[in-house]
Amino acid sequence: MNDNSRILNSVRNIFTGFLGQLITLITGFVCRTIFIQCLKTEYLGISGLFTNILSVLSLAELGVGGAINYALYKPLAEKNEKEVSEYMNFYSKAYTSIGIFIFIVGICLLPFLKYLIKDTPNIKENLNLIYIIYLSNTSIGYFFSYKSALINADQRNYIVSLANYARVILQAIVQIVILLLTKNFLLYLIIEFVFSITENLIIAYITNRLYPFIKTNKKYKLEKSKKNKLIADIRDLMINKLSGVLVNNTDNLIITYFSGLATVGLCSNYNLLINIINTTLKQFFDGIQASLGNLNAVESKEKRELYFDITNFINFWIFGFCTICIILLIDDVINLWIGNRFILDSSIKYILAINFYIVGMQNSVWSYKVTSGIFKKGRFILAIMAIINLALSIILGKKMGLFGILFATTIARITTNVWYDPYIVYKLIFNKSPKKYFYKYMKNILIISLTFSLTSYIVSIISFINNIYLKCLLKLIICIIVPNICFLIIFYKNNDLKFIKNYIFNILRNRIKNSIKINRFYIKNKN
């Protein structure tokens, strides 16, 4: 099992995540561009719709993964192979059953597809066949994913990331070639299916090599008390998962019903760009999550709160900066990328950016909540959020179209988990009032608003430039420099920023010292 420090594991995971995400971003952009050029807009809508349907079907997972990942932190830290094997044996059986269940229910939904798609898309392929390929890809993944969860829980998710990024790059290359040569959407999907299975098999092989005891300890079963505790955690996470899926994955269904697949396709281009940013930034939190699990399992509440404040500060900085960039740059990126006919009304980019910021600012809270095992708290508030979102999406969707559906999500989040989750984390983990957190949250919104206004004003000064490429380059430079300078000036004396600066300087200083020692040793022995 993993013997490295939390910091080393986190650095490896974060570095691998960011580097791999950069490569994925480039290949994803190229592949998406070729996709749009070779196929109709309806195909984007079909892809978004079926992905959301299968995300809803994934409710069958019922929080098993999250509960077992939390359960694995302690036995992995204690190197208890027997207990790890017990959980993995349970995990294996549960996920195999889930994969089979999802496939069967997915097949049963086939006759109802025509009711979800308001206007039949003008494509040559059979919609049912396309759906079955998507369904197969999703359900088969459950037969293997429990093994990657063990690697992630052991603070080694950089291994899973490397395998994933290799798959993404190779898959994109093959898909691009196929699209250019054949313009065949079915072949495009089959390639994705084949590469997905290959990646799962490779990760399964690596897991067996790293943890050979899980193959030899198949006889171990969870004790009744542990199983009851696990089932209770799964039950609590089930409501969380259900609520999250209803909030995040029903929008495309409602957009399809009110506005058609073409609008889903247009919106999916914006979502693709924002999801690339979100996924890239999440590499930081994915990289430290297992280490936070280790921290929350063994450290004092004072130290846990210290690192929460630091991660939350980093969270604000990167998501605040990116929110400003999304509003000011995303239309230009869409225009340069695929043309101005794919640009939506300007109100859409604002509401998408607001939703991006709201979700992003929950990262620290969610990481602490999950790694501390407080699954039970907040399950009903998430159910309320899902109900509010669904009801408002239908009401506002009729009146305001796409903007109304997206705005409904904003209202649902603000009125529920935006305030409730931090409250629970402070009350149960730090035994404190969350007043400090909410004060910082409101202050940060004011800071972002003022910073955005200043950046937007400076950007407007160069509006006279006619050359679109020069104009976009200058806007990008302004958006990178101005917000970060504003943040540096505002937070210059902030304790969290001082801690981060001192930590980085200490690492660099130690590296330089070690390098000098090695050089002196080399010169001395050479002479």
pLDDT of residue 522 exceeding 60, the answer is no
Q: What is the pLDDT of residue 127?
A: 82
Q: What is the spatial distance between Cα 275 and Cα 252, in angstroms, rounded to a whole number?
A: 15
Q: Could you give the C-alpha distances from 10 to 151, 157, 283, 291, 325, in angstroms and in order? A: 13, 9, 10, 7, 27
* Higher local confidence (pLDDT), 79 or 332: 332
Q: Which of 169, 237, 223 is nearest to 199 (CA)?
A: 169
Residues 6+ apart with CB under 8 A from 433: 426, 427
Angstrom distance (rounded) from CA 466 to CA 4:
54
The answer to whether 79 and 1 are in contact (CB under 8 A) is yes
Report whether 240 contacts 378 (CB < 8 A): yes
Lowest-confidence pick of 66-75, 327-336, 452-461: 66-75
Does residue 227 surpass a pLDDT of 80? no
* pLDDT value at residue 248: 61
pLDDT at 520: 58
Q: How far apart are CA 83 and CA 150, in angstroms?
A: 13
Higher-pLDDT residue of 372, 214: 214
Confidence of residue 41 (pLDDT cuts 50, 70, 90): low
What confidence score (pLDDT) does residue 138 get? 83
Q: Does 151 or 2 have the greater pLDDT score? A: 151
Q: What pLDDT, in 10s, does the model give residues 483-511? A: 999 999 999 888 888 877 776 676 666 65
Mean predicted confidence (pLDDT) in 299-316: 82
Q: In this structure, are residues 283 and 407 in contact, taking their beta carbons and an 8 Å threshold?
A: no
pTM, whole model, 2 decimals? Answer: 0.67
C-alpha dihedral sign at 298, 95, 277, 16:
positive
- At 88-126, the pLDDT tens digits run 888 888 888 888 888 888 888 888 877 766 666 677 778
- The pLDDT score that the predictor gives to residue 299 is 65
pLDDT band at 250 (very low <50, low <70, confident <90, very high): low
State how far the Cα of 395 lies from the Cα of 405, in Å rounded to an integer.
8
Mean pLDDT along residues 312-339: 91
Q: Looking at residue 519, what is its pLDDT?
A: 54
Q: What is the DSSP string of 262-294?
A: HHHHHHHHHHHHHHHHHHHHHHHHHHHHHHHHH
Is residue 217 a contact partner of residue 80, using CB atoms and an 8 Å limit? no
Predicted pLDDT at 169: 85
Q: What is the mean pLDDT of the chain?
A: 79
